[in-house]
Amino acid sequence: MSTAHTTLDQERIEEFQGLAVTEAAAAESAACCYLGDVLGLYEAMAGAGRLTSGELAARTGTHERYLREWLANQVSGGYLIYDADDGTFELPDEHAAVLADPDSPAYVAGIFPIIAAAWASADRAAEAFRTGDGVGWHEHDPRLFEGVERIFAPLYRHQLVQDWIPALDGVHERLTAGARVADLGCGHGASTIVLAQAYPASRLTGFDFHAESIAAASKAAAEAGVGDRVGFEVAAADSFPGEDYDLVCLFDCLHDMGAPVAAAARARRALADDGTLLVVEPQAGDDLTDNINPISRLFYAGSVFLCTPSSLAQDGATGLGAQAGPSRLLEVLSDAGFTHRRIAAETPFNLVIEARP
């Protein structure tokens, strides 16, 4: 549409142009952050104090001239501190907790390989917009699977046992005594392993339809020393094996499924009569006007490239979306036959839902 003959507010144009340039700078700089992650630059700077570009090059085995440009970008974005007097660069400890410490609850560096995977799928996504076809989870760049594990694992390590399980009625006690647990859509098994480490009397099985993720999960469980009480199997959420589970979990995956009602209904049938379904989904309100904030913006973008295409590639093709909101999620569980449903806990990033038959 041409704006040549339209009277435009010049101040508004300039204001929005500034926003667009700022956004473009952030988007391109995310690729620089990806480099900082994969090259170990943040890790090398964490706790090291002030470093010159040459010192950082020596620490990381990278080329000093490239590093100077990267460091300048990071200073411009507020990631690093620059001392003009001695030409040094520093990663503050608080920033290192976000970018370089996978054990920190604030760690978010896993988002950078996810962004890289989204860009790798951008042309495929554009074609899907035209055709309405889905893009299967397994069809994405492998950096997606690594990034998803890295972005969610800190949440599980710091919130799952400490906050989410205690918010459920009687589940902590049951797990402590020894329970049968199914973790659906388990990916690389981070959530399954965290539960196994916290509750050694329980026995857990992780299920995922992505065979490569199941192989990675089995390896991770063995390395974590919980392989004797954790198993992983390739299976879809609406047809996984087993009955009489005390707890069935769906961590940040119900909205990815083509038929979420069918998956939840299968979970209901697999539960013991007094069992519990734990559903963790991205934080969202029920309406778009409730979700105009940076976190929802991030989740909507992920839903455009990953979650909705995955759902549309499966039988059912519901396309629930990563920002479905609590009312829609509780409706899915009701349609699946759950009579007890409630929001058990909330965080800035997650909704924690408890359901029982």
Q: Is residue 138 domain-shared with residue 204, that is, in the same domain?
A: yes
Inside any domain, residue 107 = no
Last residue of a domain, one of 101, 121, 141: 101
CATH number of the domain encompassing residue 160: 3.40.50.150
Q: What's the confidence (pLDDT) of residue 2?
A: 58
Dihedral sign computed on CA atoms, order 309, 314, 319, 324: negative
Tell me how far apart the alpha carbons of residues 249 and 252 are, in angstroms, rounded to a whole number.
Answer: 10
pLDDT tens digits along 297-348? 999 999 999 999 999 999 999 999 999 999 999 999 999 999 999 999 999 9
pLDDT tens digits along 6-49? 789 999 999 999 999 999 999 999 999 999 999 999 999 999 99
Q: In this model, does residue 1 exceed pLDDT 90?
A: no
Q: In this model, does residue 4 exceed pLDDT 80?
A: no
Give which of 323, 282, 342 is closest to 148, Cα–Cα: 282
Inside any domain, residue 5 = no
Q: Is residue 127 domain-shared with residue 15, that is, in the same domain?
A: no
Inside any domain, residue 323 = yes
Q: What's the confidence (pLDDT) of residue 3?
A: 60
pTM: 0.92
Tell me how far apart the alpha carbons of residues 178 and 202 are, in angstroms, rounded to a whole number.
Answer: 4
pLDDT tens digits along 50-91? 999 999 999 999 999 999 999 999 999 999 999 999 999 999
Give which of 268, 272, 278, 250 is closest to 163, Cα–Cα: 278
User: What is the average pLDDT value for the chain, to the nearest integer?
Assistant: 96
Inside any domain, residue 307 = yes
Last residue of a domain, one of 55, 70, 101: 101
pLDDT tens digits along 259-277? 999 999 999 999 999 999 9
Q: Is residue 27 domain-shared with residue 139, that is, in the same domain?
A: no
Last residue of a domain, one of 101, 134, 169: 101
Q: What's the confidence (pLDDT) of residue 6?
A: 77
Tell me how far apart the alpha carbons of residues 343 and 286 are, in angstroms, rounded to a whole number.
Answer: 13
Q: Is 257 helix (H, G, I), strand (E, B) or coil?
A: coil
Tokens read off for 90? 């520093």
Enclosing domain of residue 64? 10-101
Q: What's the confidence (pLDDT) of residue 119?
A: 95
- pLDDT-derived band of residue 200, with 50, 70 and 90 as boundaries? very high
Q: 267 to each of 107, 137, 276, 325, 339, how far by Cα in Å?
A: 31, 21, 9, 21, 14
